[in-house]
Structure 1
Amino acid sequence: MVKTAPEHVKRGLKSRHVSMIALGGCIGTGLFVASGSAIHTAGPGGALVAYILMGIMVYFLMTSLGEMATNLPVSGSFATYGTKYVDPAVGFAMGWNYWFNWAITVAVDISTVALVMQFWFPHFPTWIWSGLALILIFGINVLAVSAFGETEFWMSLIKVVTIFIFLGVGFLTIFGIMGGHATGLTNFTYRQAPFVGGVPGIISVFVVAGFSFQGTELVGITAGEADDPRHSVPKAIHEVFWRIILFYFLAIFVIAAIIPYTSPDLLGSTASDVSISPFTIVFKRAGLAAAASVMNAVILTSVISSANSGMYASTRMLYSMADEGYAPKRFGRVSRRGIPVLALLATTVVSLLTFLTSFFGPKLYLWLVAASGLTGFIAWFGIALSHYRFRRAFVKQGHTLSELKYHAQWFPFGPIMCLILCIVVIFGQDVGAFAHGNWFQIGVTYISVPLVLILYLSYKWIHHTKLIPLDDIDVSPAQLTDDNQKQ
């Protein structure tokens, strides 16, 4: 029988934690900052289309993950599903790919914390802020899973409240109630708007939109430690889809209505300069003088939340790989509180060493960051592939969908759409580099693809694994006792 999370880590994430973690995972600097560059590139209409299409894809991805996670709720689920439903080599590659992605992302986030803090303390040593952020994140993750869940709940709530306030202020500004000038929808027909660059412009924004939604798959990681995964996971998936569409669609609509796509402020949006966040600009247009400081605090919360989630996700993935035999067994040991401390320490050390390379080897640091750039989309591809194989095996073996605690709608359209869009995003990441023959840039951008292929092929060559026949795939659900369900 498959070893499920209650035999190892402790379940302690409540339903409200799972819902808010899933929602908060996709609300961050991608929305607060990078959305401006998407509007500048594709125009207001193009940005809306790209984000809506990517949101629909993410919904199908979440339902695919939900079907597998309710049938087999385990921590570090992606590697397990790849192993059981596709090929052990896929599980091995997916596990290390995802662990590497978040371990590097933690380092990037703690570096960003220092940049954000410079807004208030421009002359303070940046490494101190990064060090404090890493200590804080480690402390939250080493306590108990409930501490992580509660922290993420409140940080995600701050982001959600900010968006509600932004939407209220934005619509009042559009109608001229705030800011003294009604913009209406004139910016949607300004010059080449609403669609700038046509279909290629929309496709180019897929990449930005995709990065904005990175983190939604965390609900699959939390399933292994949720009090009642077969209730909380489907509930989170259903709620998150509508909230994503609502938040992203309305937020981008407000930004595009108030700020013309030709504004240079949108072109230069970066996480290190909150003064040109489209949210900040909208607040300033409405006459709110303290907008920059408030948004800087919100962006700081988002970055810490991302690092906190990254530490949790990478730790659980390393723990799961140890349980599957893909990593040293010592990383599968847990403390009395149910925390895989050695896996947490290893992830923290890697994040710290990566962060230090930004001082001692900036070129190496940039390569590491680039190497983690596409790993999230590769993980999404693996999730969709695993679900496609799981459902086909489930039906082929004579099972009916009524046996599943939760089943994804629109199969096989959902996972196939995810597979196609993931390929489009991965290979469309930097088409210009191919057009100009810039092989160095191609290497930096796409380095994660050959790395994953090397992991996959080396494991396959050493262990002689094969694609698991549909009739041989184990689709049996995990047996959860009442104590497993609610502790």
Structure 2
Amino acid sequence: MTKASSGDPADAASGTQDGLKAGLKNRHLSMIAIGGVIGAGLFVGSASGIAAAGPGILISYALVGAMVVFVMRMLGEMAAANPTSGSFSAYADRALGRWAGFTIGWLYWFFWVVVLAVEATAGAKILQGWIPAVPQWGWALIVMLVLTATNLASVSSYGEFEFWFAGIKVVAIAAFIVIGGLAVFGVLPGSHSDTAGLSNLTSHGGFLPHGPGAILTGVLMVVFSFMGSEIVTLAAGESEDPQRAVRQATNSVIWRIGVFYLGSILVVVSLLPWNSKAIADKGSYVAALDSIGIPHAGQIMNVIVLTAVLSCLNSGLYTASRMAFSLGQRGDAPKAFSVTNKRGVPQTAILASVVFGFVAVAFNYWWPDTVFKFLLNSSGAIALFVWLVICFTQLKFRGIIRREMPEKHLVKMWLFPYLTWATIGMILFVLGYMVVDGGDNRDQVLASSLVGVLVLALGVILGRRHKKAEIAE
């Protein structure tokens, strides 16, 4: 085993980074960046958003998409100058203080290990539908074991799996947009849908059938489907050319969100009336494919959703382990987390992450309405907390880049600092509206805040102990 050193993360460009190996190729990073914005939530959760806001859900997606573009631009500015596996946690540690890096790092790790349980269960349900002889818990176990083995093998194994998982998602969404778009304009061979047409955007109660307030309701429903865009900045530290990878990912995030989210949802609400019973019963994409006569639409979408689930599991385990690795490097997690094996893989960090994921899966089967529901709620608003910390970190990190590494200031946040502050205001508004909205949204903010405060308190206590130890030495 090789203990991770405390060298400059920028050394990744020369082949290694603090014990990790630069095993991700540019094609891996490119596909991780493209596929990172396409989560299972887009395929599964969009129907409820359409029901809540009608065609106006497009504005909800556009607002959240703009927020993600701004956050990614800020993160890209920092990651291009200093690519590291700890990404925003490491930057927060340096710009805001150890307490900030500790808190957001552990919260982000917690978010992804809970996601492991959610996605493993979702994948198991699909697989059991195909092969009922294997129980659901058995499929969840098989899926988790296979992807754990993939991540333990090497970072290039993770990259290769994710390349193909993301590739399938991208091809599927692109094909859906092309085929659906042809059907909307009535030029798809063999398809004569009476319900398709751009008139669906306004002819069933108007573009905003539930009023402008429904846009904000839609925002709350879609915001969490964007989580994962930032994964490419963590993976960049193990790539051949991290600066180039980060620049490309940051510069392309606008068209990626525009095409995959806005483009595909526009096709759905154009093919069918927003209040169509088929969307509610089958899900938005299956209903859209059925409406234009695509055979076996349900099974096709099951395959695509399963791919998205496996992609999310694969990336979730990778992301959680690299964040744990970075925390171990900085003394904010057990030192064993910062140890890599001869293949450059943080084995202990991976196993620790997957063990918690297995425990969470068990909670989902034993106590789905109590313990697991609390885990879900307490991780629900963490995405927004992460984005908020990225914003505040970038406000200070800009000065660090200019002072210490001006030659690496390759990506710059637009209209700094005004757009950064505007993004902070947007995120705080969404959090506030979640509390006012009540129900599950309020529960998520309050439970996530409770966990955040507990982690913050622990970080402050440990920070003081470290300071006393340093003074004593």
TM-score scaled by length of structure 2? 0.90
1:231 Cα offset (Å): 1.0
In structure 2, the partner of 1:156 is 166
CA contact (8 A) 1:41 1:196 kept: no
Cα distance change on mapping 1:266 and 1:415 into 2, 3 Å = farther
In structure 2, the partner of 1:246 is 259
Q: Please state whether the residue corresponding to 1:203 is helix, strand or coil.
A: helix
1:122 Cα offset (Å): 4.6
Identity of aligned residues (%): 33
1:317 Cα offset (Å): 0.4
* Residue 234, structure 1, aligned to residue 244, structure 2: no
1:401 Cα offset (Å): 6.1
CA contact (8 A) 2:434 2:442 kept: no
CA contact (8 A) 2:26 2:240 kept: yes
Cα distance change on mapping 1:187 and 1:26 into 2, 3 Å = same
In structure 1, the partner of 2:365 is 359
Q: Which amino acid aligns with 2:459?
A: Y
Residues 244-289 of structure 1, C-alpha deviation per residue, up to 9 Å, x if partnerless? 2122121111111112121234346xxxxxxx12111111111112
Distance 2:330 2:116 in 1: 24
Cα distance change on mapping 1:108 and 1:316 into 2, 3 Å = same
Q: Please state whether the residue corresponding to 2:228 is helix, strand or coil.
A: coil
In structure 1, the partner of 2:398 is 391
Identify which of 96, 106, 110 aligns with 1:100: 110
RMSD between superposed Cα atoms in Å: 2.1
Q: Which amino acid aligns with 2:397?
A: F
Distance 2:245 2:462 in 1: 39
Distance 1:443 1:39 in 2: 23
In structure 1, the partner of 2:43 is 32
Distance 1:349 1:220 in 2: 25
Distance 2:435 2:130 in 1: 35
In structure 1, the partner of 2:470 is none
* Residue 127, structure 1, aligned to residue 132, structure 2: no
Cα distance change on mapping 1:346 and 1:402 into 2, 3 Å = closer
1:114 Cα offset (Å): 1.1
* Residue 181, structure 1, aligned to residue 193, structure 2: yes
1:36 Cα offset (Å): 2.1
Q: Please state whether the residue corresponding to 2:424 is helix, strand or coil.
A: helix
Identify which of 421, 424, 431 aligns with 2:429: 424
In structure 1, the partner of 2:3 is none
CA contact (8 A) 1:110 1:133 kept: yes
Residues 358-390 of structure 1, C-alpha deviation per residue, up to 9 Å, x if partnerless? 222222112112211111221111111111121
1:2 Cα offset (Å): 5.3
In structure 2, the partner of 1:288 is 294
Q: Please state whether the residue corresponding to 1:429 is helix, strand or coil.
A: helix
Please give the residue correspondences for 1:278-317 in structure 2 after superposition, counting only pairs within 5 Å.
278-317=284-323
Q: Which amino acid aligns with 1:85?
A: A
* Residue 411, structure 1, aligned to residue 423, structure 2: no
In structure 1, the partner of 2:386 is 379
Cα distance change on mapping 1:39 and 1:443 into 2, 3 Å = closer
- Structure 1: runs of 5+ lacking an equivalent: 269-275, 466-487
CA contact (8 A) 1:76 1:317 kept: yes
* Residue 259, structure 1, aligned to residue 272, structure 2: yes
Distance 1:108 1:432 in 2: 24
Residues 438-475 of structure 1, C-alpha deviation per residue, up to 9 Å, x if partnerless? 7x98445530112112222342355359xxxxxxxxxx
Distance 1:403 1:114 in 2: 45
Distance 1:400 1:318 in 2: 26
1:28 Cα offset (Å): 2.1
CA contact (8 A) 2:200 2:272 kept: yes
Q: Which amino acid aligns with 1:337?
A: R
Distance 2:204 2:296 in 1: 32
1:321 Cα offset (Å): 0.2
Number of paired residues?
450
In structure 1, the partner of 2:18 is 7
- Structure 2: runs of 5+ lacking an equivalent: 1-5, 466-473
Residues 59-92 of structure 1, C-alpha deviation per residue, up to 9 Å, x if partnerless? 1111111111111111021221111001211111
* Residue 19, structure 1, aligned to residue 25, structure 2: no
CA contact (8 A) 1:170 1:254 kept: yes
CA contact (8 A) 2:32 2:162 kept: yes
* Residue 74, structure 1, aligned to residue 84, structure 2: yes
Cα distance change on mapping 1:299 and 1:389 into 2, 3 Å = same
Which stretch of structure 1 is more off in the superposition, 92-101 or 287-296?
A: 287-296
1:392 Cα offset (Å): 4.3
Q: Which amino acid aligns with 1:61?
A: V
CA contact (8 A) 2:401 2:409 kept: no
CA contact (8 A) 1:401 1:407 kept: no
Distance 2:200 2:236 in 1: 43
1:409 Cα offset (Å): 2.3
* Residue 90, structure 1, aligned to residue 100, structure 2: yes
* Residue 342, structure 1, aligned to residue 354, structure 2: no
Distance 2:215 2:88 in 1: 29
CA contact (8 A) 2:23 2:156 kept: yes
Distance 1:181 1:344 in 2: 49
Q: Which amino acid aligns with 2:341?
A: S
In structure 1, the partner of 2:455 is 455
Q: Which amino acid aligns with 1:446?
A: L
Which stretch of structure 1 is more off in the superposition, 309-318 or 217-226?
A: 217-226
1:26 Cα offset (Å): 1.4
Q: Please state whether the residue corresponding to 2:344 is helix, strand or coil.
A: coil
CA contact (8 A) 2:40 2:312 kept: no
Q: Please state whether the residue corresponding to 2:20 is helix, strand or coil.
A: coil
In structure 2, the partner of 1:326 is 332
